[in-house]
C-alpha cells in the first residue's frame, strides 16, 4: 500500500510503499477513504507535538473508512461498517490497523470527507465551549483564527449554543467563511485593532484561541470581568505568557484544553460530546467546511496549505 510516511527520526515525510498492515487482537483493518489534516501533523514532522510517535510512523491523526477485517478474538464493527477513527497516526495511507475502541460508526448520510474533517475540529470546539467554559446562551464568544480547522467549528457551535459570536480572521475571504458559519460580528486581524473592536462590542465572556501570540494579548485585554479564556493551540508560533496579576484583578479564568488528552483520563467526555455532535449533524445543524480534498500523492501540498494558512476549514486527503 501507499503511505505518507516518516521512515526515521529527523527525516522528512515522503510517499512510500509499505506492506499492508495485519490487525492484531483488539484491532480492525480499515480501508481508508479520507484523512483530515491538522496543525498537529506539522508539529509532528518537526517532533514538537506532545504526542509525536517514535519514527518510523505514518502521519494522519484522524480518518474515515470501511472496516475490512477484525483481528483475532476481537469484537468490533463488522466488515463493511463505515467508521471514523481518531488514532493519532496512520491516516495518510490506503489502509490501517487501528484499535476498535477508537472507532465511531458514522451515519450513511455522512460522507467520508465530512467524517474525516469532523472529530478533532468539532470535538475540540464542543468540549472547549460546553465542558470547559460552560458557555451560556447570550454570552459573547470571541473566536480567533475563526476560519481555520477548529476556529470555524467554534463559530458554528458557539452560535448553536446561543452565543453572540465575534469572529476574528485574516482577510475578506476567511471572514466570509466565518460569516457563513454564523458569526454575528467580523474582525479583520490584518487591518483592525482586535482589542478596540471587541471592547466596542461590549467585551468577551469567552475567548477561543488557536492562535496565541499578539492576538491572545489583544483578546486578553478585551475580556469582561469573569471571562474564560481557552488556549487551544499556538498557530502563530508564540506561546503567550499569562500575567497572573491581571487574572486576579479582572477575575479571569484560563482553561487549557487538549482534546486528545481526555482519552487517557476521561474518555466518557469525548464519547458524550461525539454523540451530541453526530446527532446535530444528522439534524443538519452542522456542515463541515472542507476547502480542499486532495489525493494521497498531494499530501505534501495539503500540509503546505495549512503551513501557509491558505485553507479555510479543513484540508482532507483521499487515499
Q: Which domains does the chain have, with CATH numbers?
A: 2-118+288-318 (3.90.180.10), 120-260 (3.90.180.10)
User: Do 143 and 216 form a contact (C-beta atoms < 8 A)?
Assistant: no
Query: How far from 311 is each of 101, 126, 302, CA to CA, in Å?
Result: 31, 22, 9
Q: Say what the pTM is.
A: 0.90
Return d(Cα 184, Cα 303) in angstroms, integer: 30
Cell of 223: 475580556
- Given this model, what pLDDT does residue 115 score? 96
- Given this model, what pLDDT does residue 50 score? 86
- Given this model, what pLDDT does residue 14 score? 96
State how far Cα 9 lies from the chain centre.
Answer: 25
Mean pLDDT by 10 residues, the chain (319 residues): 94 96 98 96 92 94 97 96 95 97 93 96 97 98 95 97 97 95 97 98 98 96 98 91 92 95 91 93 94 97 94 94
Amino acid at each position: 500500500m501507499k503511505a505518507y510516511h516518516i521512515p526515521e527520526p529527523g527525516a522528512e515525510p515522503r510517499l512510500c510503499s509499505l506492506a499492508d498492515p495485519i490487525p492484531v487482537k483488539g484491532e480492525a483493518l480499515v480501508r481508508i477513504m479520507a484523512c483530515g489534516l491538522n496543525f498537529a501533523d506539522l508539529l509532528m514532522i518537526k517532533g514538537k507535538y506532545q504526542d509525536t510517535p517514535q519514527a518510523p510512523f505514518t502521519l494522519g491523526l484522524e480518518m474515515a473508512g470501511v472496516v475490512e477485517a477484525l483481528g483475532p478474538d476481537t469484537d468490533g464493527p463488522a466488515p463493511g461498517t463505515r467508521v471514523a477513527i481518531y488514532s493519532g497516526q496512520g491516516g495518510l495511507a490506503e489502509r490501517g490497523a487501528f484499535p476498535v475502541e477508537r472507532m465511531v460508526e458514522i451515519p450513511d448520510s455522512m460522507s467520508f470527507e465530512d467524517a474525516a474533517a469532523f472529530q478533532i475540529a468539532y470535538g475540540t470546539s464542543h468540549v472547549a465551549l460546553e465542558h470547559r467554559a460552560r458557555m451560556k446562551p447570550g454570552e459573547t464568544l470571541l473566536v480567533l483564527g475563526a476560519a481555520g480547522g477548529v476556529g470555524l467549528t467554534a463559530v458554528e457551535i458557539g452560535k448553536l449554543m446561543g452565543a453572540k459570536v465575534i469572529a476574528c480572521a485574516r482577510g475578506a475571504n476567511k471572514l466570509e467563511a466565518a460569516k457563513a458559519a454564523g458569526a454575528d460580528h467580523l474582525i479583520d486581524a490584518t487591518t483592525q485593532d482586535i482589542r478596540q473592536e471587541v471592547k466596542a462590542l461590549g467585551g468577551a465572556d469567552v475567548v477561543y484561541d488557536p492562535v496565541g501570540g499578539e492576538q491572545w494579548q489583544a483578546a486578553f485585554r478585551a475580556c469582561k470581568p469573569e471571562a474564560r479564556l481557552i488556549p487551544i493551540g499556538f498557530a502563530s508560533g508564540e506561546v503567550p505568557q499569562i500575567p497572573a496579576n491581571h487574572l486576579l484583578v479582572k477575575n479571569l479564568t484560563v482553561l487549557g484544553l487538549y482534546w486528545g488528552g481526555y482519552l487517557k483520563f476521561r474518555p466518557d467526555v469525548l464519547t458524550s460530546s461525539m454523540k451530541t455532535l453526530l446527532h446535530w449533524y444528522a439534524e443538519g445543524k452542522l456542515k463541515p467546511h472542507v476547502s480542499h480534498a486532495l489525493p494521497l500523492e498531494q499530501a505534501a501540498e495539503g500540509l503546505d496549505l495549512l503551513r501557509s494558512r491558505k485553507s479555510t476549514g479543513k484540508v482532507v486527503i483521499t487515499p
